[in-house]
A = this chain, B = another copy of it.
Amino acid sequence: MKALDELVDLLTRLPGIGRKSALRVAWHLLKADESYAAALAERIVALKSSVHFCSLCGSYTEEDPCPVCSSPARDHSLICVVEQPQDVVTIEASREYRGLYHVLGGLISPLDGVGPEELHLAELESRLADGEVREVVVATNPTVEGDTTALYLKRALEATGVSVTRLATGIPVGGDLEYADRLTLARSFRGRVRL
């Protein structure tokens, strides 16, 4: 069936969806309400047309500037630097952070040929120019590229006088020492805190 094969081919291009999952989704759509399939199709198209980048922080938003950047209730002296726009959504979901964001659009990775000039660093520096920001929290992943980028940011922002911090690395809450890898364990020792 051409209609089925074409849909399955497109579905398998989505992350985490193999051929079997794509088929299951297709069977489900065949059995589901016509209105559901229509709504899903409409929302897929609507997503791209209604979600854009915030011109200030670079995160995904439907209005520009984004609700975070334009909120007087947020702490405008604090900027959290993240790799990708979706990281903002992840951090917002934790309801812990009350400052602003800045999306780099990538991480420094010499192996992949990504240098600092590929990232939105100039935009970050210009946001620090008026002196309102006192702290930049680097929230890149604790990987080689994330660490490199964090270190680069620390050096690049040294002259501005803002304090540059980094998210704590260590054993996840609910985790088990036995299953923590050596690097994580080592880092959690180095980052130990007074009780």
Min Cβ gap A2→B in Å is 6
Residue of B nearest to A90 (CB): B23
**Chain copies in the assembled complex:** 2
Pick the residue among B10, B27, B46, B50 that contacts A36 (CB under 8 A). Answer: B10
Residue numbers in B under 8 Å from A89 (CB-CB): 1, 4, 23
Q: Mark A25-62, 1 if CB is under 8 A from B, else 0.
A: 11111101010111111111111101100000000111
Residue of B nearest to A24 (CB): B15
In the assembly, what is the distance between CA of A45 and CA of B30, in Å? 10
Decide if A192 is an interface residue (CB 8 Å cutoff): no
Q: A29-B44, A44-B44 are in contact. List 16 more A-B contacts (CB 8 A).
A: A3-B43, A3-B46, A6-B43, A10-B43, A13-B32, A14-B28, A15-B28, A16-B21, A27-B86, A29-B47, A30-B51, A30-B60, A34-B48, A37-B47, A37-B48, A40-B41
The contact sample of 14 A-B pairs, CB cut-off 8 A, is A1-B60, A2-B50, A2-B62, A3-B43, A3-B62, A7-B43, A7-B46, A11-B40, A14-B25, A29-B44, A29-B48, A34-B48, A41-B41, A41-B45
A-side residues, CB < 8 A to B, are: 1-4, 6-7, 10-11, 13-17, 21, 23-30, 32, 34, 36-48, 50-51, 60-62, 85-86, 89
